[in-house]
Structure 1
Amino acid sequence: MRLVVAGGALALFAEAALSQPRIDHQNIAPRPGSWSYAATASGSEASFRDGAGQTLLIMRCTRQTRRIAISARTIAASSMTVWSSTTSRSLPATYNPSTGFLTAELPSSDALLDGVAFSRGHFTVTGGGSAPLVVANWPEPARAIEDCRN
């Protein structure tokens, strides 16, 4: 812990919070790759693949439960942070070691998904201490979200 005097006021900060660099998501270039969309037996999904064809991010709609699962290829973690140009939030997540994907689920009506669908240019998904996965905001994720809302 560190005691800091700022503007005549005392503040107590945890050392870990001071050592964490803040990421300026707005100015990170999106990763090269492309989105695809597919209908599935239970709903639909939008998948982002890098230039080598490896799937890095999936947004899956399960129509029966009206839930969106966001799955990112990342390191093991218990939470996932989703950032858009209007909002961001940390979500509880589960890691599947056999696939290498970290997954968080949201009701399709969650405002965070609106932030993703309408984000300016790109959005970011981060799991654990991994590097942010910054992807271009194409229509495919919005389409999967809308599938669960209709």
Structure 2
Amino acid sequence: MVQAMPNDMWMDAPATPGEWRYEINGEGSAALFLDDRQSASFSLWCEARSGSVALVRYGTAREPHVITVRSETTTRSISAEQTQSPYPYLVTALRPSDPLLDAIALSKGRFAVEVDGLPPLYLPSHAEVSRVIEDCR
């Protein structure tokens, strides 16, 4: 069982080790948060065709499939779809104008991503995140 930090303590929790990487391809752009082994644990994708920003948490979660995002100013739980092939992940899509994306990009240095059954992520709000959001606008 994965233990989550109490909701009111997430800003003080140790940062998740890793770094952001910005990538672009024929389908859009992405900000991937990579751990020390260069495996992605979370990403934001600008899906040019659908005109949406996908939030992706890699791993297998317990039901119900919900991604909770916490920023300095906003907390929201969003239904997500679990995918198993070829690597398991949860995904949800937001409109580029969704205020949650601005809350993530402008959060005081970090934001949190929580999924039941997976370790919580405490991620820095770096330029790669803002760049993907702006790519979709």
CA-atom RMSD, angstroms?
1.6
Aligned mates of 2:75, 2:51 — CA distance in 1: 21
Aligned mates of 2:20, 2:90 — CA distance in 1: 19
> Structure 1: which 5+ runs fail to align?
1-19
- Structure with the greater relative contact order (CA < 8 A, sep ≥ 6): 1 or 2? 2
Aligned mates of 1:111, 1:92 — CA distance in 2: 17
> Structure 2: which 5+ runs fail to align?
none
What is the aligned-residue identity percentage? 33
Task: Give the letter aligned to residue 85 of structure 1.
Answer: E
Aligned mates of 1:62, 1:102 — CA distance in 2: 16
TM-score relative to the length of structure 2: 0.87
Match 2:22 to one of 37, 40, 53: 37
Bigger CA radius of gyration: 1
Match 2:59 to one of 74, 94, 102: 74
Aligned length: 130
**Higher strand content, 1 or 2:** 1
Deviating runs (4+, > 4 A) in structure 1?
none
TM-score relative to the length of structure 1: 0.80
